[in-house]
Amino acid sequence: MGPTGPTDRDGQNWHGQGGQRRRGSSAGQLWSWIIIVALVVTLIVVERQRLAFLFGVLIFVVALLTSVMLHELGHFATAKKFGMRVTQFFIGFGKTLWSTFRGETEYGVKALPFGGFVKITGMTSADDVDVADEPRSFRNQPGWQRIIVLAAGSFMHFVLALFLLFVLAFAVGQPSTNTSLPGTNVISSIAACVPASVTKLNSTAPCAGHTLGKSPAQIDGMRPGDKIISVNGTPVANWNQLKAALKAQQAGVSIPVVVERSGQDVRLQVKLAAIPKRPVPFLGVEPTVGFQRSTFLGAWGYAGDQFADTLTSSGSAIARLPSAIPDLFSKDRSSTAAGQVSSVVGVGEVTGDVVQASLPWQAKVATLLGIVASLNIFVGAFNLLPLLPLDGGHLAVVIFERIRAWFSRLRGRPDPGQVDIQRLVPVSLLVFALLVGFGTLLIAADIFNPVHLQV
């Protein structure tokens, strides 16, 4: 699911990059890639005929590429800070589309935008390194520096997630049940009927069975998105004021109600209905959920709480991955563990659904920020799993080396040195194959049996 693959730093070992310095592809190859992307975009537009959906997908793609760049920037910046020799910084895998040299480092973009990598000289004991470069190789640096470089990618994911959650609380706001907030007098939905009782009104299916007819809001032409600004001459600015104004009216009597629609005031004549034992005459509208912004410190507190909750749920999701496989193609996938995991294709589909949905802008932005933040937390946690060739696998190797060296010192023996990485290659290849296989299966499930966000 993560945007960074198992070959973040030493992708050259699996992608055949070696130590070659490529000058990039020709202009013709670059234009071929641009044409392919344009064709894919055109096909999506033709199939979906929903520009809002496409815009949502593009938002996710940009967020994904930004996450990849920040992940690799974490490895790159810390390696440079400690004086290690960094020869490549690339976004994507496969054939090089464009590259340029700045000093000893080649920066570029490759054809397959499914991750990225930073190439640091001497990542493992198996790498061939010139004698002149050995002092600046990764393997020749203190253990604490290598740990920082390896953990920096996930750290950047976590920082980005915390920042997005802070922006959500501080700049956008959180959904609130406070009906005194401005804007709650905007109609979110229209009731189809007048329920026969207060019990039916508060049920999940108020219009099932016997009703007292259509709702006044429906009969008199109110629409979702209308902002009620006065009831029988009484100005209203929120849901509480609207309820108070309605309570002062009599059911069965036609009264003027003014709504703001598309920037214009529209005057309607509405005859309120009566529901037995309900003190407030029934209009048949639902309020828009208000969004309340947090203070600066409160927003950071919210970000921390949400980060901890999402990290816990990400751990649960990772643990449920094996059990999710049998249900990936089941009809009730959304109600199983398979409905809680998704590939980048599935998450992109969800972001498109959110942007296309008829929701207030705050709800859309808050949902999108939450999705991107959750994705980064999941990817950051997943990359720290102690499995080669993930970041966490390399971290585990370095930590094992330092613990082994400490025990050797206690026993008066010399440092055994680095782990022979060649002995771990079969395990690394097996994990890599499992990740690719599960990722491919998950993408197929998201294409043929997608889970849609209910918005």
pLDDT at 120: 92
User: Does 102 have pLDDT greater than 80?
Assistant: yes
State the catalytic residue, choosing from 72, 106, 349, 401. Answer: 72
- Number of Cα atoms under 13 Å in the Cβ half of residue 305: 7
pLDDT at 287: 86
What Cα–Cα distance (Å) separates residue 427 from each residue in 293, 325, 388, 423, 434? Answer: 49, 22, 7, 8, 11
pLDDT digit string (tens) for 209-241? 888 989 999 998 898 889 999 999 999 999 999
Confidence band, pLDDT 50/70/90 cuts, at residue 249: very high
Let me know the angle formed at the C-alpha of 287 by 285 and 291, rounded to the nearest 5 degrees: 170
Confidence band, pLDDT 50/70/90 cuts, at residue 50: low
pLDDT digit string (tens) for 429-438? 888 888 788 7
Say what the pTM is. Answer: 0.73
Q: What are phi and psi of 24, to 5 degrees?
A: 100, 165
Where residue 328 falls (left for φ over 0; alpha for ψ -120 to 50; beta otherwise) is alpha
Q: What are phi and psi of 124, to 5 degrees?
A: -135, 170
Q: Residue 17 is encoded by which pair of tokens?
A: 């990059």
User: Does 337 have pLDDT greater than 90?
Assistant: no
Q: Where are the beta strands (DSSP E) in 25-156?
A: 86-102, 105-120
Superfamily for the 187-288 domain:
PDZ domain (2.30.42.10)
Write down the domain spans for the chain: 12-173+321-448, 187-288
Query: Diameter of the chain by CA atoms?
Result: 97
CA distance 321 to 355: 28
Nearest to 303 by CA among 356, 205, 374: 374
Let me know the angle formed at the C-alpha of 303 by 299 and 308, rounded to the nearest 5 degrees: 150
> Bigger pLDDT: 25 or 454?
454
**Contact yes or no for 270/257 (Cβ under 8 A):** yes
**Percent of the residues in the chain that have a pLDDT greater than 90, as a whole number:** 33
CA distance 71 to 264: 48
367 CA to centre of own chain: 9
> Bigger pLDDT: 364 or 7?
364
Which residues, 6+ apart, have CB-to-CB distance to 217 below 8 Å?
Answer: 187, 190, 191, 270, 283, 284, 285
pLDDT digit string (tens) for 374-419? 989 988 998 898 888 888 888 988 998 889 888 888 888 887 878 7
401 catalytic residue (yes or no): no
Confidence band, pLDDT 50/70/90 cuts, at residue 266: very high
Q: What are phi and psi of 433, to 5 degrees?
A: -65, -40
Which residues, 6+ apart, have CB-to-CB distance to 21 below 8 Å?
Answer: 87, 101, 106
pLDDT at 16: 35
What Cα–Cα distance (Å) separates residue 162 from each residue in 31, 60, 157, 375? Answer: 38, 18, 9, 12
pLDDT digit string (tens) for 288-306? 887 888 999 999 999 999 9
Check whether the bond before 389 is cis (ω within 30° of 0). yes
Mean pLDDT of 105-133: 85
CA distance 382 to 369: 20
Q: Measured on CA atoms in the order 186, 188, 193, 198, is the torsion positive or negative? A: negative
> Bigger pLDDT: 259 or 390?
259
What Cα–Cα distance (Å) separates residue 82 from each residue in 136, 138, 143, 432? Answer: 9, 9, 12, 29
